[in-house]
Copies of this chain bind each other. A is one copy, B any other.
């Protein structure tokens, strides 16, 4: 089965072709920083060619500098000690990344804010001095002020990162904003020519579209990364787009709608209606302008794949419009299981995952990979185990690698790891081809502010969001045999709960995952109350349904039988309780992060785990349904098993079921049509494991980290 994409590298033709053969590649690709030689291009393999459509246009951009991309920036606050304050706007920011946009169109969007009162000061009370890039504002003494302004982005951020991290040394690339018609028109010409110049290319691999994730760098190396988010849309702004938005929506956005007190619009904050409307506005534009490029690719007889990373902002694979792009495939790099599910559920014909590690000397976060002290083989196997859990549940058609191929030659352990990984990938793929694997009955919905738009993701990779409980839950669920969907608070009110058995709400007070102000909505609370009372299982993790202002901090406290005391109840007693364990429910090694502010509302919830007299895991009967409170959740195999157990126990009354193993570290997937059962050992020790299926028990040993496939009898 040929479904592997190998990065080739000019100058290493023999290595490229050897590995293509060894790993059964059908495709050779270039990467950011490598090229393919004629020998490779003509070796008979399909060719993916990478294009980042908005960079590599420095020459044209220099002649049309107003088409550079932009962002709003907000200075640090300053305290007034007299009647005026002067801000040198670029003091806080990385001068190689940003330049002030002080054109007339831009200046009308600037704002000076009194942060003590949290109101903008009138335009008549501040003056811009172009000669030194400063703003001087009339002030009331002893208040704090900030200036929000538009800035050109003058160094494409991925190049900037690689330049700094991987010692790239070439001209700083700028990025084109196709929102400007002349840029959009230029880009079409460029795309056409680009295709013509690459007759051997079979797939154009877009990396990705127009707008990068937000990455605002600071002037000081002690605080270089001021703000980083994968979907905050700050980098999509321009005066032209803002003006058009106003015409279309009947109201104008301000700098403050983007900078939000200097905290910006991170994905994990509850989105405002304005932010949603801006996202829709930009998404419509990105679809329209991208479609033109994809049509050119198709007209040139090539396929168009999109790499779901870096510059995907505006594309939104889960907004219901993705199929309109006409992409032939989507490629996702994966560190984690949830990223496999994120890729697999995008409505596209071909799904490809790009494995980690990327073939670079240094990985994300600066860890060594293909360099001294790096262990890329171990890395690959570790990432594979996470990805494999999800691959057992859902089909992905292709896989691949990326980067500088020559780096692998000194790492035989990596070569062997890839042998094993590709073998397992293909065995699993073949099983999916026979039919879907068995899933357990309970249907699960993850409830948060974004709903299906942020299915199987928060914002970026696991290590970037690991302070959020929800990503841990998603990673656990990504490899469990359940049907999982993602719903928003509006979906709850629209009566979309009829097919759902279990709702999981996992977040911290005020964030988009918990829901914040959404919980002031009476209809939301009463609908969920009714749904649980009629037999639903509501699982709340961390600070679910938390909002200030009511008799309980958790608005679902009556369902959960547990609440959180933010200090108001310091003089209240708490219900004493005994921990009443359920035999086998909490596996050895499952540890729930303790907190000391949880208490029982009416003393009736069953406490399954506790620390320092504080409940950590409770089950509460509520009508025909149940509320489950989980104080915290950090993913590992025992916690994953605990989650599976809880869902099973609360939905079915039993921990026993067909199609699951008796070992938390070894999971299984049953493919009834193939007549096979796959046992996957996710541990570094060998496993002796069994699984019940159709009344028969299948028992075997599985090697550390590997899978074993048994025939169903």
Interface residues of A (CB under 8 A from B): 76-77, 79, 81, 115-118, 140-144, 146, 218, 220, 222-229, 232, 261-264, 266-269, 459, 465, 467-468, 508-511, 522, 525-527, 529-530, 533, 548-552, 558, 566-577, 601-603, 622-623
**Contact across chains for A522 and B117 when beta carbons are under 8 A apart:** yes
Residues on B with C-beta less than 8 A from A144 are: 551, 558
Residues on B with C-beta less than 8 A from A533 are: 79, 81, 142
Q: How many whole Å from A82's CB to the nearest CB in chain B? A: 11
**Contact across chains for A118 and B549 when beta carbons are under 8 A apart:** yes
Q: A77-B558, A223-B576, A603-B222 are in contact. Are A571 and B118 (CB under 8 A)?
A: no
**Contact across chains for B575 and A223 when beta carbons are under 8 A apart:** yes
Q: How many copies does the complex hold?
A: 2
Q: Which of A223, A229, A603 has the most CB of B within 10 A?
A: A223
**Contact across chains for A268 and B567 when beta carbons are under 8 A apart:** yes
Residues on B with C-beta less than 8 A from A261 are: 550-551
Instruction: Beyond A79-B622, A227-B571, list 16 extra A-B contacts (CB 8 Å).
Output: A115-B551, A116-B522, A141-B530, A142-B533, A143-B526, A222-B577, A223-B576, A225-B573, A227-B572, A228-B573, A229-B571, A232-B571, A263-B569, A266-B571, A268-B570, A509-B567
Residues on B with C-beta less than 8 A from A225 are: 573
User: How far is it, in angstroms, between the C-alpha of A117 and the C-alpha of B461 when the chains are bound?
Assistant: 39
Query: Contact check: which of B459, B601, B623 meets A81 at CB < 8 Å?
Result: B623
Closest to A222 in B: B576
**Contact across chains for B223 and A529 when beta carbons are under 8 A apart:** no
User: How far is it, in angstroms, between the C-alpha of A539 and the C-alpha of B530 when the chains are bound?
Assistant: 49
Residues on B with C-beta less than 8 A from A266 are: 568, 570-571
User: How far is it, in angstroms, between the C-alpha of A459 and the C-alpha of B141 when the chains are bound?
Assistant: 37
User: How far is it, in angstroms, between the C-alpha of A570 and the C-alpha of B507 when the chains are bound?
Assistant: 13
User: How far is it, in angstroms, between the C-alpha of A98 and the C-alpha of B567 when the chains are bound?
Assistant: 27
Query: Contact check: which of B224, B526, B568 meets A142 at CB < 8 Å?
Result: B526
**Contact across chains for A575 and B222 when beta carbons are under 8 A apart:** yes
**Contact across chains for A574 and B530 when beta carbons are under 8 A apart:** no
**Contact across chains for A550 and B224 when beta carbons are under 8 A apart:** no
Q: A77-B551, A262-B551, A510-B568 are in contact. Are A142 and B573 (CB under 8 A)?
A: no
Closest to A263 in B: B568
A-B contact pairs, 6 of them (CB 8 A): A116-B550, A141-B526, A222-B577, A465-B570, A510-B566, A548-B548
User: How far is it, in angstroms, between the C-alpha of A572 and the C-alpha of B601 when the chains are bound?
Assistant: 36
Q: A522-B117, A551-B263, A558-B144 are in contact. Are A508 and B223 (CB under 8 A)?
A: no
Residues on B with C-beta less than 8 A from A568 are: 263, 266, 269, 510
Residues on B with C-beta less than 8 A from A140 are: 526
Residues on B with C-beta less than 8 A from A232 are: 571
Q: How many whole Å from A532's CB to the nearest CB in chain B? A: 9
Q: A576-B223, A603-B222 are in contact. Are A143 and B510 (CB under 8 A)?
A: no
Residues on B with C-beta less than 8 A from A229 are: 571
**Contact across chains for A530 and B142 when beta carbons are under 8 A apart:** yes
User: How far is it, in angstroms, between the C-alpha of A142 and the C-alpha of B269 when the chains are bound?
Assistant: 28
**Contact across chains for A223 and B526 when beta carbons are under 8 A apart:** no
**Contact across chains for B76 and A602 when beta carbons are under 8 A apart:** yes
Closest to A578 in B: B222
Residues on B with C-beta less than 8 A from A530 are: 141-142
Residues on B with C-beta less than 8 A from A570 are: 266, 268, 465, 467-468, 511
Q: How many whole Å from A111's CB to the nearest CB in chain B? A: 13
Q: How many whole Å from A575's CB to the nearest CB in chain B? A: 5
**Contact across chains for A573 and B526 when beta carbons are under 8 A apart:** no
Q: How many whole Å from A503's CB to the nearest CB in chain B? A: 15
Closest to A569 in B: B263
**Contact across chains for A522 and B143 when beta carbons are under 8 A apart:** yes
Residues on B with C-beta less than 8 A from A118 are: 549-551
**Contact across chains for B571 and A264 when beta carbons are under 8 A apart:** yes
Residues on B with C-beta less than 8 A from A116 are: 522, 525-526, 550
Residues on B with C-beta less than 8 A from A267 are: 571
User: How far is it, in angstroms, between the C-alpha of A228 and the C-alpha of B572 when the chains are bound?
Assistant: 6
Q: A118-B549, A223-B603, A603-B223 are in contact. Are A573 and B218 (CB under 8 A)?
A: yes
User: How far is it, in angstroms, between the C-alpha of A574 and the C-alpha of B511 when the chains are bound?
Assistant: 19
**Contact across chains for B567 and A508 when beta carbons are under 8 A apart:** yes
User: How far is it, in angstroms, between the C-alpha of A571 and the C-alpha of B265 when the chains are bound?
Assistant: 10
Query: Contact check: which of B262, B268, B567, B575 meets A510 at CB < 8 Å?
Result: B567
Q: How many whole Å from A449's CB to the nearest CB in chain B? A: 14
**Contact across chains for B142 and A572 when beta carbons are under 8 A apart:** no
**Contact across chains for A142 and B508 when beta carbons are under 8 A apart:** no
User: How far is it, in angstroms, between the C-alpha of A509 and the C-alpha of B570 when the chains are bound?
Assistant: 13
Residues on B with C-beta less than 8 A from A574 are: 223
Closest to A566 in B: B510
User: How far is it, in angstroms, between the C-alpha of A228 and the C-alpha of B225 when the chains are bound?
Assistant: 48
**Contact across chains for B572 and A263 when beta carbons are under 8 A apart:** yes
User: How far is it, in angstroms, between the C-alpha of A405 and the C-alpha of B229 when the chains are bound?
Assistant: 70
**Contact across chains for A573 and B224 when beta carbons are under 8 A apart:** yes
Residues on B with C-beta less than 8 A from A220 are: 575, 603
User: How far is it, in angstroms, between the C-alpha of A509 and the C-alpha of B553 when the chains are bound?
Assistant: 14
Residues on B with C-beta less than 8 A from A143 are: 522, 525-526, 529
Closest to A531 in B: B142
User: How far is it, in angstroms, between the C-alpha of A356 and the C-alpha of B320 when the chains are bound?
Assistant: 72
Q: Which of A261, A548, A549 has the most CB of B within 10 A?
A: A261
Closest to A229 in B: B571
User: How far is it, in angstroms, between the C-alpha of A566 and the C-alpha of B549 when the chains are bound?
Assistant: 17
Q: A79-B533, A79-B558, A603-B220 are in contact. Are A226 and B572 (CB under 8 A)?
A: yes
Q: How many whole Å from A528's CB to the nearest CB in chain B? A: 8
User: How far is it, in angstroms, between the C-alpha of A558 and the C-alpha of B146 when the chains are bound?
Assistant: 12
Query: Contact check: which of B548, B571, B602 meets A268 at CB < 8 Å?
Result: B571
**Contact across chains for B573 and A226 when beta carbons are under 8 A apart:** yes
User: How far is it, in angstroms, between the C-alpha of A497 and the C-alpha of B138 when the chains are bound?
Assistant: 27
User: How far is it, in angstroms, between the C-alpha of A576 and the C-alpha of B218 when the chains are bound?
Assistant: 12
User: How far is it, in angstroms, between the C-alpha of A115 and the C-alpha of B571 when the chains are bound?
Assistant: 21
User: How far is it, in angstroms, between the C-alpha of A225 and the C-alpha of B576 when the chains are bound?
Assistant: 11
Residues on B with C-beta less than 8 A from A115 are: 550-552
Q: How many whole Å from A440's CB to the nearest CB in chain B? A: 29
Q: A77-B551, A530-B142, A576-B222 are in contact. Are A228 and B567 (CB under 8 A)?
A: no
User: How far is it, in angstroms, between the C-alpha of A511 and the C-alpha of B568 when the chains are bound?
Assistant: 7
Q: A115-B550, A269-B568, A602-B76 are in contact. Are A529 and B142 (CB under 8 A)?
A: yes
Complex A-B, nearest 5 residue pairs according to Cβ-Cβ distance, in ascending order: A142-B526, A261-B551, A225-B573, A266-B571, A142-B529
Q: How many whole Å from A582's CB to the nearest CB in chain B? A: 21
Residues on B with C-beta less than 8 A from A622 are: 79
Closest to A262 in B: B551
